Structure 1
């Protein structure tokens, strides 16, 4: 078996690097893999089930004077969230210099203000953990980059220097910022380095065997620290070839296959999740053949499609897309979410909705207080690529009544929890957060609108007060999640059927392998809807009402989960 694994890893190394990956390189790499294999003794859960629900959060989400942030979060999680969630996705908690953690200074350390690895281990006693592997780029303040600038041996090719006269017009640009940034080296020479996301985020040169070995060492460290899910951040950009679009290249897929092969060897059961905020057809390519790349991909089209359905009061586009979804194997599934630390991506809508519909959604959300980030296109035009807003505020008019705001919010999250796959909920969502305009003004970037941090006890007081919006959102969504986690029909692999009852009524039917069935009915409209149906018999899980095959009346924005007899 060991020889088969080694042959697979060697084969991938050959495909990506050929003879540039020497026997010495291979010896170093396999020694690291073998050492980590022997150091990990715990068994990881194989696959996933209906109990798996992920909380997305910053490790320093809560602070208390005189205390590290991570233990403060762990206490909050154990008090308020542990009954709802099985996994916690800790957004980058390493030392960082910008982008709220995604400009990593040192992959191997916990940010001192956040805590230490022992604090991570304490949280691991309460939840399975998901780590970010920020593999495309690292901070300009990092030691690796300092060594490069100082021209220290071994770091000459860690980053990507390009002649600024090179034609890079075909390169896919996720942001309206320069692709190359000039830096001065120790000898006074100037190098223009590849910076896909910002001048503080220097792209790593994976064409260098030394970079691969160093980054595999990071991956192995995260496995050793107990990460059950590994999120590959911005992974589509990892390999660069001038003259191409430099995204989704074959070498990038091979590198992910290599990470997967190493992870399967060292810590079987660990799940690789790719984060590629791109059109759906490109996103799903990261499943590979269903066995060799990511076990999960982010379902980036879901958040904007649910928003589109709510604002249009029309579920037809959502159902057309959902009905087309297919997985390459039983060993893959979707990582579903509505909100995250980033904005709501629009690129995943392209190819699903006409561009005028996308622009109309953007304009409508802007009128209600959302902010928008733009990207540059190769032809010199600009397109909106991301809406910045809390999901709670994205769903409703800002001057609307809280009763309707809550109903729309719970409807959207019931859709999330009904979809095949593993659902993830952002902490600002379950805490019922509104747009943080003060944060945008203070920090100077749009994404701060949905990244508010709290003092210890600040949120607790509102959660304990039954009159507050936070309490009502928290209570309703927590109850919804708890119900979902008890039902086999919501297993990620259970059969899913999507139907349009009428243009504003969505029907999702989930059927477990033993025949247990739950029918979800969702009223995406502000009017009462009556369904003349004699097909539903059973118990409605949210109200415990018995359904006897008579006409069903759905209030505006109401959801029903009917567990059939």
Structure 2
């Protein structure tokens, strides 16, 4: 971000040359510069800070999670923000809001349209005046019902090679698969010829061919369009699979990293405060590689190992894996950070911890999911066998235990979110977690999709009633989480880029020291992961005022109740 425009452009041209050769690269660079000139007239300069701060906490939601008769859902979301979330969430991630044909929005028909049943672009732009908007850029694939794909099948030369037609007799067994569906799906073109199209996720989600320079330019045009409509954070969906090279895993290839660097360079040149976030549900080591050198690739990376590690720690009452992993976290510069969460619209991915948890520990997570009446989604390995890929369950039900007092369920769940809020980076809370939603078995059975279990829709009046009932589970969770967030937003030690260090206070305790002299404040987050009282020894340099109770916690031995959270400021 501090680099000059010229050095940024030189880097971009180099990556373009690597992928496309000198002639096409020069033409592409000219095309990108033309798009920048075009959209520069439409993109307003933000009055908000260019650097993320401790006050940035994200809400993850679908545009139609909240509904009210005769009101577009995007306006209902804006109302919810004004009435309940102002001063708490300054950042809202609205999951795909385009017309789609499957996968709850992740099979986009038209990148430049908003679903009519949600509202219109004016609703997005209006919301963007009250908070920062994160938009999904679903750019690995798009709908088979899209105009782009229809034009491709029709033989329109403008869309030639926009998608990947591959010989089904070739060996593709090395390709990493996130699903059990066939990799190639057969479509007939206008001449009646069979086209075996590369479909990483489903037959309806046809992969874009980034080896075609025109595809990259079209995608950058889409990114610029989203920015022009108010998005200042771009979630680059499923980018693991962007660049294909048969004979390889076709995942996390150097070509993919080069594409992300090109996109980051382009959006940063258009508007310097735009944040590019990569969504790569892969083992942690591969995931953090998307930071690049700290200046040239993703600004933020989803911290995918965090959700399963939090779940494991609270289910087992043992934080050793969580602490060891967190202690090993590092960032390549002070201009990048993690995007932390425990739950999202998807389930809890377990691929990121395949190199951290052993087979028995992973099975414990599977067992907990099934005990909560959730589902376990699998992927196909190169040997044809299936391996758990994702736990489909609300995070609340994943860590809850049947028959326990409600107060224990609430305390354990709040402890889970307190871990998210204390981690280095920007924290995100899924709306179903904020509202205390339980597994939606009926919706899952209605749609036949496992992920629907965590994608409930709510009537606004119903939510109003539940949040007004101070004795209800939903109100207790909402009140506890919003209180934690309000306190967090005032602490410099929780700046996304502030220092962090794991403190060993015992196996059942997750203790994380945030900040220091350079940050103007130091906060020790202490969380009891077990259902038992645990004694901890507070060193002199860690003693302070508990921000959550406003009581002093001096050095010496202290007893933490089950699932207790303490934030000691010194």
* TM-score, normalized by the shorter chain, greater than 0.5: yes
TM-superposition CA deviations, 1:275-303 (whole Å, max 9, x none): 00000010011011111000110000000
More displaced stretch, 343-352 vs 393-402 = 393-402
With over 3 angstroms needed to count, the CA separation of the structure-2 counterparts of 1:538 and 1:375, relative to structure 1, is same
Q: CA deviation at 1:21?
A: 1.8
Q: Distance in 2 between matches of 1:341 and 1:514?
A: 34
Q: Distance in 1 between matches of 2:521 and 2:22?
A: 55
Q: Distance in 1 between matches of 2:520 and 2:31?
A: 51
- Residue 369 (structure 2) pairs with residue 360 (structure 1): no
Would you say the 8 A contact 1:171–1:244 is kept in 2? yes
Q: Distance in 2 between matches of 1:369 and 1:174?
A: 23
| Matched residue, 1:417 | 421
| Matched residue, 1:526 | 531
Q: Distance in 1 between matches of 2:117 and 2:94?
A: 15
TM-superposition CA deviations, 1:57-83 (whole Å, max 9, x none): 111112223221111111011111122
Q: Distance in 2 between matches of 1:363 and 1:285?
A: 31
| Matched residue, 1:30 | 33
- Residue 136 (structure 2) pairs with residue 113 (structure 1): no
- Residue 3 (structure 2) pairs with residue 8 (structure 1): no
TM-superposition CA deviations, 1:66-116 (whole Å, max 9, x none): 221111111011111122111000101111111111100000111111111
Q: CA deviation at 1:370?
A: 2.3
| Matched residue, 1:126 | 130
More displaced stretch, 392-401 vs 98-107 = 392-401
Q: Distance in 2 between matches of 1:223 and 1:533?
A: 47
- SS at structure 1 position matched to 2:504: strand
| Matched residue, 2:474 | 470
| Matched residue, 1:509 | 513
| Matched residue, 2:567 | 561
| Aligned-residue RMSD, C-alpha | 1.5
Q: Scaled by the length of structure 1, what TM-score is found?
A: 0.97
Q: Scaled by the length of structure 2, what TM-score is found?
A: 0.96
Structure 1 segment 324-339 matched on structure 2, within 5 A: 324-339=328-343
Q: CA deviation at 1:540?
A: 1.2
Q: Distance in 1 between matches of 2:569 and 2:395?
A: 28
- SS at structure 2 position matched to 1:424: strand
TM-superposition CA deviations, 1:501-544 (whole Å, max 9, x none): 12112211112325521112111111112234463532211122
Q: Distance in 1 between matches of 2:278 and 2:172?
A: 25
- SS at structure 2 position matched to 1:247: coil
| Matched residue, 1:93 | 97
With over 3 angstroms needed to count, the CA separation of the structure-2 counterparts of 1:530 and 1:24, relative to structure 1, is closer
More displaced stretch, 348-357 vs 37-46 = 37-46
| Matched residue, 2:65 | 61
Q: Distance in 1 between matches of 2:112 and 2:489?
A: 34
Would you say the 8 A contact 1:534–1:551 is kept in 2? no
Would you say the 8 A contact 1:510–1:519 is kept in 2? yes
Would you say the 8 A contact 2:466–2:475 is kept in 1? yes
- SS at structure 2 position matched to 1:334: strand
With over 3 angstroms needed to count, the CA separation of the structure-2 counterparts of 1:115 and 1:500, relative to structure 1, is same
Structure 1 segment 390-401 matched on structure 2, within 5 A: 390-401=394-405
- SS at structure 1 position matched to 2:109: coil
Unpaired runs of 5+ residues, structure 2, are none
Q: Distance in 2 between matches of 1:361 and 1:65?
A: 39
Unpaired runs of 5+ residues, structure 1, are none
- Residue 76 (structure 2) pairs with residue 77 (structure 1): no
Q: CA deviation at 1:13?
A: 1.5
Structure 1 segment 490-509 matched on structure 2, within 5 A: 490-509=494-513
Structure 1 segment 165-564 matched on structure 2, within 5 A: 165-512=169-516, 513-533=518-538, 535=540, 536-564=542-570
TM-superposition CA deviations, 1:430-470 (whole Å, max 9, x none): 10111100110111111001000112212111101112111
Would you say the 8 A contact 2:434–2:478 is kept in 1? yes
TM-superposition CA deviations, 1:16-54 (whole Å, max 9, x none): 111562755544332112211243231353221111100
Q: Distance in 2 between matches of 1:4 and 1:556?
A: 53
Q: CA deviation at 1:153?
A: 2.1
